[in-house]
A = this chain, B = another copy of it.
Amino acid sequence: MKLTRLDKLRLRLVAQDACLAWAFENIKGRSGIVFELGLGHGRTYDHIRTHLPDREIYVFDREVDCYEDCIPPTDKMILGDMRQTVPEAVRRFAGQVVLLHADTGSYGDKHNTEMQQLLSATLAPALAPEGLLLSDLKLDVPGTEAVPLPPGATEGRYFIYRRQR
């Protein structure tokens, strides 16, 4: 039977959870900051801050429109069009990002293609050596290698890339 749209959402969330859990372990003991691209309702930000309470987490979105209890601190919220804010932040924090989570996919294919191009073209210099990039969209980021998904995650439902040393 074909995967329904509900199946795809569920499999994406299950894969995302497994990938994030793997990444939280993987970066243990390594210095670096975190980027969360796409605040949305704030659910993933809530997840990341809960598991990484001691990390600086910078959150990117056009606006703050999330759960009241998931609003990032003002000095960590980078507001604006990601086509501008992401390249700027990549320059500002070059080489410092140990975990970059990009949950920027949406309903529209056009939007998704634009985000794939933007992220693929700009993110690499932000990552620390062996820094991790988790994405709901398939990306093609120079200087990174794809990492097989951890158990519990269905290949193709989420993506992990690691910056080469």
Contacts and interface: CB of A to CB of B under 8 A. Distances in A.
Quick one: copies of this chain in the complex? 2
Contact of A4 (B2, B7, B9, B47): B47
Contacts of A46: 4-6
A76 interface: no
Given A10-B14, A10-B17, A5 B107 contact: no
Interface in A13-62: 13-14, 16-17, 41-44, 46-47, 50-51
A6 B44 contact: yes
Contacts of A146: none
Interface in A117-151: none
Count class of interface residues, chain A: 20 to 34
A61 B96 CA distance: 47
Contact of A67 (B5, B16, B43, B44): B5
A85 to B, nearest CB: 23
A82 interface: no
A17 B13 contact: no
A64 to B, nearest CB: 14
A10 to B, nearest CB: 4
Interface of A: 1-2, 4-7, 9-10, 13-14, 16-17, 41-44, 46-47, 50-51, 67, 70, 107
Given A6-B13, A13-B13, 9 more contacts: A4-B43, A5-B41, A5-B67, A7-B17, A9-B43, A10-B10, A10-B14, A10-B17, A41-B107
